[in-house]
Amino acid sequence: MATAALLAGLLAAAVPGWGRLARRVWCARQRTRLQETGVSVVWVHDGEKMPWALWGAERGFFELEWANRLPYLRAAVAAG
């Protein structure tokens, strides 16, 4: 895990926009997981991903909800 964090840090420093792209890819992956059969929620276990979860919820990738102090994602409800 430390190697992945180091690599992510190096990419963020070397490639402009890497952080924004990584956040968007993470949000898209969570949305895809929520569309799979049998998956109704995705728990956000990594506290470092909370800003990403908030960002994704603001942009309609998914909905962010709470079970007491535990955050989780639900598929976004289509407006209509």
Which tokens hold the place of 34? 């929520």
Entry pTM: 0.75
Q: What residue has token string 């190697």?
A: 3
Per-residue pLDDT averaged across 5-25, rounded?
Answer: 74
Give residue-wise pLDDT tens across range 16-74: 776 788 899 999 999 999 998 888 999 998 888 999 999 999 999 999 999 998 999 99
* Reported confidence tier of residue 8, pLDDT bands at 50, 70, 90: low
Asked if 23 and 59 touch (Cβ cutoff 8 Å), the reply is no
Domain residue limits, the chain: 22-80
Three-state SS sequence of the chain? CHHHHHHHHHHHHHCCCHHHHHHHHHHHHHHHHHHCCCCCCEECCCHHHHHHHHHHHHCCCCEEEEECCEEEEECCCCCC
- Fill in the amino acid letter for 34: L
Residue 77 has pLDDT above 90, yes or no: no
